[in-house]
Amino acid sequence: MKKIYSSFLHSAGLKIHILGLIVLLLCVNQAQAQCTNAPEGQWPSGTITGPTSGPICPAGAPPYTSITTSAYTGEYSVLTLAVQTYTVTSSVATDYITITDATGATVISSGIQPYQFAIAVAGTYRVYRHSDAACATQATNRTISIGCNSCSPAAATVVTSQSSSAVTNGGANDVQLVRLAVSNKCGTLTQLNLSTTGTTNVLDIARAKVYYTTSTTFSNAVQFGSTVVSPSGAFAVTGIIIGTIDGPRSCYCINWKEFETFKNEFNSLFDNL
């Protein structure tokens, strides 16, 4: 009787261990959920080319390209991606992103947004989105965007334009003449080299000033450098524009977060006699 009872205990213990193993496997499977169900299909139609420009400053956020502003969860987009590291974001904080091959058969990686992943082979990929890691779907619009973390930044640009060609009377102050629009610049600006070449009569210029703004609207609130008295020929205006320190490398950026919307403006003003 004792042996039979002992065998029953061992048998029951075995069942408990097997049941525990099954529960553990189910939990592991759920934790590694990879969502490729797409009842809403592909959106938008066609293939989208992935971004090619990276952060303006090292360790900074990349400029993001919108995949769609009317995405549902339970659908996917098709993108052409290079051998780079990308980040996919959603306007809904809890959305779950899954990256697969072109057919959706092989999962590359997955995780909650903002989701960063690496592409080892250039080609076409699917970007799935779901409401959570349980692969839930929702017919509510959200914006899905992608940025390239490892791409090279776009080249810095400087565009010179004549802000105004209006006739100026003698004695007028703060006459806006030249604008330098600088974008995609990571670094510290310390000097602008200017010239009065082309001026009809340099004696008409009593003082030269440079002002700095972060939009195309002129403002004389922030002056760059010091006032130059009676400029003639080539002259330099020295100052410093540092902006935001971006990342552990102490890279000084000129308002890099605003470059997607604005261009930095250097408005050269001359006070006329």
> What pLDDT digit, counting tens, does each position of 235-258 carry?
888 887 664 333 332 222 333 333
pTM (two decimals): 0.59
In the predicted structure, residue 8 carries a pLDDT above the cut 60 = no
Residues ≥6 apart with Cβ < 8 Å to 188 = 240, 241, 242, 252
36/25 Cα distance (integer angstroms): 21
**Which pLDDT does position 130 carry in this prediction?**
98
* Entry field: residues in the chain: 273
Structure tokens at 239: 């100052």
139/54 Cα distance (integer angstroms): 32
Q: What is the pLDDT of residues 54-105, one digit of tens each?
A: 887 776 788 899 999 999 999 999 999 999 999 999 999 999 999 999 999 9
Query: What mean pLDDT is reported for the chain?
Result: 76
Helix (H, G, I), strand (E, B) or coil at 188: coil
Specify the amino acid at residue 247. Answer: G
225 compared with 4, residue with greater pLDDT: 225
| Domain extent listing, the chain | 41-148, 157-272
Please say whether the beta carbons of 141 and 74 come within 8 A: no
146/135 Cα distance (integer angstroms): 20
- As a whole number, mean pLDDT of residues 190-202 equals 83
56/82 Cα distance (integer angstroms): 19
Please say whether the beta carbons of 138 and 43 come within 8 A: no
**Which pLDDT does position 97 carry in this prediction?**
98
- CATH fit for domain 41-148, picks 1.10.10, 1.10.760, 2.60.40, 2.60.120: 2.60.120
